[in-house]
Amino acid sequence: MNENSAMRIEEGVSLQTYNSFGLPAVARTLVRIEREADIRKVVDHPDFGRAPKFILGGGSNIVLLRDVSALVLKVEIVGRRLVEERDDAWIVEAGAGENWHALVDWTLSEGWPGLENLALIPGTVGAAPVQNIGAYGMELADRFDSLDAVDLVTGRNVTLNAAQCRFGYRDSIFKQALAGKSVITRVRFRLPRPWQPVLGYLDLQRRMDETGIHHPSARQVCDWVCAIRRAKLPDPAVMGNAGSFFKNPVVTPEQCRDIIGRDPHLVHYAMPDGSFKLAAGWLIDACGWKGKQVGGVGVHDKQALVLVNRGGARGAEVLTLARAIQESVYGRFGIRLEPEPVVVD
Ligand code: EPU
């Protein structure tokens, strides 16, 4: 057996079922990463070592424009365990290839609550820190302990804490300085004890009022979050999509006041630093895009922030529609929407 025989290398692999948008693209070469050692083999490989690389997790936040000539590293590292039970927190670790929602569900079943607001987010554990996933008043950074990664140049293991990950709104060092340079292999979560529910989000307040349950369990919050998501967001297994297609833009108080002067119904949230975050979905909706379709790509009819594959969509069509939306929002509100998914060219 030679050095590479243990590495799972495949040629001409269709990525259509590996991206939640269901866009057609073929990877020239794909390596399945099942353990840290596989990454070191890639680094030491005579051809792969220096080749450009694309790291694929659950493929739920990417737009594939064409076939991928970079070496695709598909992260499939599994494993979940309780690392430590402290007085103030449970520390739980999961392999980067684990399904995100399965992790949330498992931690709740084991009696380690804390991730329930992030239930049903598509994708893998390893992709979660890359864009600092967030929903219903919580983001990954709030529950993060540390992560392990392997450097794609040196092959060395590194451990990063929260500050080193430089988490921002749907952002981290893995989308910036370390993009394509480092493979996340394991993530550890810090789930605070005693558990405190996070119920500030308007949609959750409504559930509390409707049900009369004002002290929900973590499982109850999880069920509410799942129901809210199912009502608004398309299931990628049924209708291809990449979640929110644009980030919610942050503007100055003057810009916010200016828009409200013309559109009093603008949905906006005050940020701790004095700026305002605007609901991009509302801006797009206000421009009349909800339910519209161009080629094989549509704007979801229940949440205008989500672009969906209505059948046979291609990556270029997704971008064409995204640009048209950006232009009309800019034309009416003077705001440039920034895409959330990574566009793979
Ligand atoms: N709205 C409209 N029309 C629309 C869509 C939204 O008027 O077509 C209004 C809603 O009525 C609401 C406001 O905009 O008043 C905000 O909508 P929503 O609560 O659905 O949340 P969002 O800001 O659109 C963000 C995240 C989602 C996350 C939800 C819940 C971003 C870019 N998106 O969406 O994250 O699930 O909050 O916390 O921050 C994702 O990133 O892929 C994602 C789905």
pLDDT in tens, the chain (345 residues): 444 457 899 999 999 999 999 999 999 999 999 999 999 999 999 999 999 999 999 999 999 999 999 999 999 999 999 999 999 999 999 999 999 999 999 999 999 999 999 999 999 999 999 999 999 999 999 999 999 999 999 999 999 999 999 999 999 999 999 999 999 999 999 999 999 999 999 999 999 999 999 999 999 999 999 999 999 999 999 999 999 999 999 999 999 999 999 999 999 999 999 999 999 999 999 999 999 999 999 999 999 999 999 999 999 999 999 999 999 999 999 999 999 999 999
Is the domain defined by 80-192 classed in CATH 3.20.20.70? no
Residues labelled catalytic: 170, 244, 340
Predicted local distance difference test score (pLDDT) of residue 5 = 52
Pocket test for ligand 1, best of 305, 306, 307, 333 (most atoms within 8 A of CB): 305
**Closest approach atom of ligand 1 to CA 247:** 32
Domain 8-75 top-level CATH class: alpha beta
Residue nearest to atom 24 of ligand 1 (CA): 281
324: CB partners within 8 A, 6+ apart: 294
Residue nearest to atom 40 of ligand 1 (CA): 244
Question: How close is the Cα of 22 to the center of ligand 1, in Å?
Answer: 22
Single-letter amino acid code for the residue at 151: D
Q: Rounded to whole angstroms, how far apart are CA atoms 57 and 23?
A: 15
CATH 3.30.465.10 domain extents, the chain = 80-192
Side-chain-side CA neighbours of 191 within 13 Å: the count stands at 26
Residue nearest to atom 20 of ligand 1 (CA): 303
Of the candidates 187, 227, 206, 213, which has an alpha carbon nearest to the alpha carbon of residue 107?
A: 187
Q: Is the CB of 279 under 6 A from ligand 1?
A: yes
Predicted local distance difference test score (pLDDT) of residue 320 = 97
Peptide bond into 194 cis (omega under 30): yes
CATH of region 241-344: 3.90.78.10
Predicted local distance difference test score (pLDDT) of residue 54 = 97
Q: 31 and 74 in contact (C-beta within 8 Å)?
A: yes
Of the candidates 61, 55, 58, 96, which has an alpha carbon nearest to the alpha carbon of residue 73?
A: 55
Predicted local distance difference test score (pLDDT) of residue 7 = 84
CATH 3.90.78.10 domain extents, the chain = 241-344
Give me the sign of the Cα torsion angle 141, 180, 3, 158: negative
Question: Residue 6: phi, psi to the nearest 5?
Answer: -80, -20
Predicted local distance difference test score (pLDDT) of residue 3 = 46
CB atoms near residue 182 (< 10 Å): 22
CATH 3.30.43.10 domain extents, the chain = 8-75
Helix (H/G/I), strand (E/B), else coil: 281: helix
